[in-house]
Structure 1
Amino acid sequence: MGYHRQPYYPPNHSKQIKRASQHRGSLKKIFLKTKRQYFDYAKRSIFDFNGIGGQFTIEAVQVDSRAKYAMKINEIKQACIHLSGRKGDKMEKFKKYAEILKDFSKDMELWKTCEEDDIADAERKYNQNALPEQIKKIRSEYAKKYALVRENALTKVRNETKSIKQRNQGKFKPDFVDLELLKELNAINMAGIPMTESEITAYCRRALASRSSFCVRAVQNIAKKSNIRLNVPTEDTAVQVIDAADKRLRKIISIYDGEFKFGDRNKDQSLIMDSHGWGDSGFLGRLEKEYQSATLEDIKISQMSRKEFETKSAVARVEQMKKPVESVEIGEDIGIRAKDDGSKSVAAQYAKKYSQKMLQAIPESNPEFE
């Protein structure tokens, strides 16, 4: 018989290609695109594998499912997850959501596989008369397991949603205006000179740090007059994205039955796909990008005693005194030239108008007296 890998030992990929080539006569290569297909095949095989191009390439020898070294379903599942690597999964803000969804899908798929195995065993063991009752018992037993998995996942989603929303609250003081900052903004506004993107960004950050939503709106007004589109995170926008993620997760948890298989028209195919949507390319990854531009949770507010504040301020003043004083001198030949533009200067315009006025005041000559 071909080679096999005993359970309880992680696959050694550095040797598997060489080892597989020694048994080419009895091996065949199979490409499986989904984890579900991988599980189904692995139950009937002793195998070695490696992740290639997002798929699982399996070098396997067909053997009976009761073979001595056949891997248990849970081992197969763990090996699958280990090999997939999850490269590119860099979830940050929705990291907890992703973990909840991943654990939920793993548990549901594991129990679904075990249920199918128990039903298959019952079909071999019982006759047609006793089989329906046995299948009913099996399904009843696993229904309780599914319900428990769903309940635990929903509780975690509810708690995480509450936590994320709290991280976006209390960033602005109610009915507060930072008058010092507003004086600067009013002066800039009255000057009527368009601001640059970097200037708008800097003042917006200052306005957010002031915890004055009025000052933030003042910066937005200046940006509009400067023809700059300014996107500012708000609690309301962040909550909308959070609610969208929460709603989708709840729907998946309530409906997904652990069967990661497509083609059944009676099932929501997008929901099945989203049951594995915890990566950057999944629905959670897309929602997290929207949330990143809407969230206020990156505004960290901390408190310190008055004494600690005064100490830090004193240290800052001392450090400032150590810095050299900047002196700027403007050379005579710097290239600044101011020259009357003739017709366009204020003085020229005045002279022109005065001349026209004087001409209108002189009466026209009468030919009779010439």
Structure 2
Amino acid sequence: MSMEQLREQLTRIQPLDKDAIQQATQRQQQLTKPAGSLGRLEEIAIRLAGIQGTPIPKIQRRDVIVMAADHGVTREGVSAYPAEVTPQMVLNFLSGGAAINALARQAEAAVSIVDVGVATELHHPQLIERKIALGSANMVEGPALTSEQLFKAIQVGFDVLDEIAHQGSDLVAIGEMGIGNTTAASAISATLLQQPVEALTGYGTGINEQQRQHKIQVLQRAVQQNQPDPHDPLDVLAKVGGLEIAALTGVVIAAAAHRIPVLIDGFISSSAALIACALQPRITDYLFAGHASVEPGHRLILAQLGLTPLLSLDMRLGEGTGAVLAMHILEAALRTHREMATFADAGVSERTENT
């Protein structure tokens, strides 16, 4: 994949369908309820109409894409867990034993697990094997990714999304697995939002305050070493990002190009969305924030993107768990939009205005 091919994909992303939005808005005004009484459910249904280009949108197939990769920066002691946990958790996903599996079963969503850079050789019949490298390089010592690795990872995101789009996906939730990836997300978001790293650095997998201070120092060294350009999102992603974040960036871009709504999860997947929207601001219209993570950087990213989280449950697991939980909210918005009777259908008198 080349920069020119990426630009071509970005140009495929179109504005929302205004006619569908107008018709969906009119339908909401005719349903048997006071105008606005379903709150954000109405807004969600109308935006989904604009995304799908139809006044009565539907979600028939739901998908979760989990990208997995390791991070060289873990050698700096930034996580409470060792890097060996990444492949162990990937195998747990594949055996159906993780939180994302349980929640995806409840949501009747298909789960795709993609190895884009786990630092261990993994083989499983259900694993999508697209390994680019055995993890990223240590960002404290230099760029996390080469330019070639960056574009290959974005291409993996394109390819995986294209495949599920071909299978008829109507809604995609994105998640990740990679010990050390909150460090990468902090570096990405601090640079793009032009905030000090300490403002976007939380406790990750459960480190204490002393470890958080160490993590901040590591991040400061990484940013100083690489000098990522805040006006060049790809430069930021290559220098202080990770393979799974780059792949999720590709998923988000490709989903918008296919007019498929994306539920972003927590801090890491939102950092990928931040990169994608910096490359093409129209993508924001295709995004829904599944939940508000306890990671401080997550709320800052959502504020920058103008997204209000659908849920706030003090979660910080990742894997796409918060995004999949929010699938039920989107389905509720569409069911009320599609299945409620209009005033005319039900023979209910509409509100009269005083004259």
Structure number with the higher helix fraction is 1
Greater Rg, structure 1 or structure 2? 1
Q: Which has the higher contact order (CA 8 A, sep 6+)?
A: 2
Shorter-chain TM-score range: under 0.3
TM-score, reference length from structure 1: 0.25
TM-score, reference length from structure 2: 0.26
